[in-house]
Chains A and B, each alone.
Chain A
Amino acid sequence: MTQPMIRFDKVLKAYGSLQVLKDLDFSVDKGEVVSIIGPSGSGKTTVLRVLMTLEGIQDGTIYVNEDPLNRMLVDGQLMDASRAHIRRIRSKIGMVFQSFNLFPHMTALQNCIESPIYTQGKSKSEATDEAMRLLNMVGLADKANHYPSQLSGGQQQRVAIARTLAMHPEVLLFDEPTSALDPEMVGEVLEVIRDLAESGNYTMLLVTHQMGFAREVSDRVCFFDGGRMVEQGKPDDLFGNPQNARLKQFLSKVLEAG
């Protein structure tokens, strides 16, 4: 059995009295592509956000490659992790956001070389070569010197993917990567994500409303509702033969809508 790349162990996340993740146990194998679906407020995006350390958790432990992310071993005891520890574990994870979050005052290329140079200590020429290779991969080599405001939404999201890949993460998180896009631009972004999924080089967690796409690229689909993982399974099983009542209701609504 392969060792899980990501493991949530009884993770509790709450905003005040509102529990967003309730004692969540959840794991993703190395190289596995997992889609998370569910209604809004189900905690699906929160899974990605606490994994990326954008938000803390109240209880439980998140493991990345069996290394605790929010805790660290000190004299055989798990203590709250230091910033250095968090940054070291975090370097294995990359995230693509719904709203791209490109740096608007930097060109596409500058966006892609900023952190490789200053966080990973690469030389400018090395980082530039790598960034150009990645921009070429997402089909935007000719836009390297454009600013985000000069790019379409789909192009911006592809630059954001290249920027994430430039950090050589092992785990890729996609938080509704096509939700902010005009319909005609969804395809070009999904195509890039599909290539990444099929490459087998990454462990991928994808929060999406694109049910068809989730079914097509995922090894496993998880349905979240009310801060819990209610049902999971192979895409064809989960979509073709849903068991849980909430999932059936959710799927009928989503598929009806579009």
Chain B
Amino acid sequence: MDWDWTFTFDVVLPKMWAAAGVTVWATVASFALALVGGLILMLLKTHRSAWVSRPATELIEVIRATPLLVQIFFLFFLLPEIGITLPPLTTGILAIGLYNSALCAEVYRAGFQAVPRGQWEACIALNMSTYRTYRDVIIPQSLPPIIPALGNYLVAIFKETPLLSFVAVAEIMQVSKLIGAEYYRFTEAITIAGLFFLIMSLIAALLIRIVENYVKRSILH
């Protein structure tokens, strides 16, 4: 195996630097979407009315039961058919965000159910609104178990972003493939892409642990 340092520094790194930014942006945006979307899906799924909860449950099942790559293609090729043309990156963020919303919904549900029944009952006895019940009582208490689980999805989403290379988003995997194809040298670009994912994942795991400890300390006394 031969490794060309000059090629690495002069060609690979400059091109991949911008691509790394796209990967990070796709991760952060998808994760934000999944956090909010997951909460909404969970609230819809546990809604009193079956007219609301059934469709939400079905949607979650459909999303969970089909591969993410299929969903990315689905949105990428079918949204334009109904007149919605979005940039590939936006479509990809939408697809990854939606897919993980369905997964995060389960995390929220498990977290909320872990809050003792007496807490819900106290909220009813104090005549609190549903909004205040969740905002002030249920969500703060369910954060300690939820945060590490959501953190896992952050890392998972990060590792899912190379799928966007299939719809030609210039994220880090796509760019390293292009570099390889252009110069007939894959070693450097692919290795650096791998290292990038490894390092970023480790950093993310560390950050999640810090947030987790912080929340534990500030919520549970």
Contacts and interface: CB of A to CB of B under 8 A. Distances in A.
Interface stretch (A8-16, A31-39, A113-121, A134-142): A113-121
Given A97-B118, A97-B122, A114-B136, A105 B128 contact: no
A54 interface: yes
Contacts of B219: 105
A100 B121 CA distance: 11
B125 A94 contact: yes
Nearest to A110: B136
Contacts of A167: 126-127
A52 interface: yes
A103 B122 contact: yes
A67 B174 CA distance: 68
Interface string A89-119: 0110111010111111100000000110011
Nearest to A167: B126
B128 A118 contact: yes
B132 to A, nearest CB: 5
Contacts of B122: 97, 101-103
A97 B118 CA distance: 8
A181 to B, nearest CB: 15
Nearest to A115: B126
Contact of B128 (A95, A102, A119, A149): A119
Most buried by B among A101, A150, A164: A101
A99 B119 CA distance: 10
Interface string A170-203: 0000000000000000000000000000000000
Interface residues of B, number: 19
A90 B127 contact: yes
A147 interface: yes
Contact of A164 (B116, B125, B220): B125
A52 B120 CA distance: 12
B220 A119 contact: no
Q: For the complex, would chain B's binding face be called helix, strand, loop or mixed by DSSP majority?
A: helix
Given A105-B219, A105-B220, A150-B221, A99 B128 contact: no
A227 to B, nearest CB: 21
Interface in A153-176: 163-164, 167
A105 B221 contact: yes
Contact of A105 (B118, B129, B132, B140): B140
Contact of B129 (A94, A100, A119, A150): A119
A243 interface: no
Nearest to A88: B127
Nearest to A146: B221
A95 B125 contact: yes
Contact of B137 (A91, A99, A103, A149): A103
B124 interface: yes
Nearest to A99: B118
Interface residues of A, number: 27
Contacts of A97: 118, 121-122, 125
A102 to B, nearest CB: 7
A87 interface: yes
Interface in B97-122: 116, 118-119, 121-122
Contacts of B141: 103-105
B126 A114 contact: yes
Nearest to B126: A115
B49 to A, nearest CB: 12
A53 interface: yes
Contact of A52 (B116, B118, B124, B128): B124
A16 to B, nearest CB: 19
B216 to A, nearest CB: 11
B219 to A, nearest CB: 5
Contacts of A164: 125-126
Contacts of B132: 114-115, 118-119
20 contacts: A52-B121, A52-B125, A54-B121, A54-B125, A87-B127, A97-B125, A99-B118, A100-B118, A102-B122, A103-B119, A103-B122, A103-B141, A104-B221, A105-B140, A105-B141, A114-B126, A114-B128, A119-B128, A147-B221, A167-B126
Given A114-B132, A119-B127, 16 more contacts: A54-B125, A87-B127, A91-B127, A93-B125, A94-B126, A97-B125, A99-B118, A100-B118, A101-B119, A102-B122, A104-B141, A104-B221, A114-B128, A118-B136, A163-B126, A167-B127
Interface of B: 116, 118-119, 121-122, 124-129, 132, 136-137, 140-141, 219-221
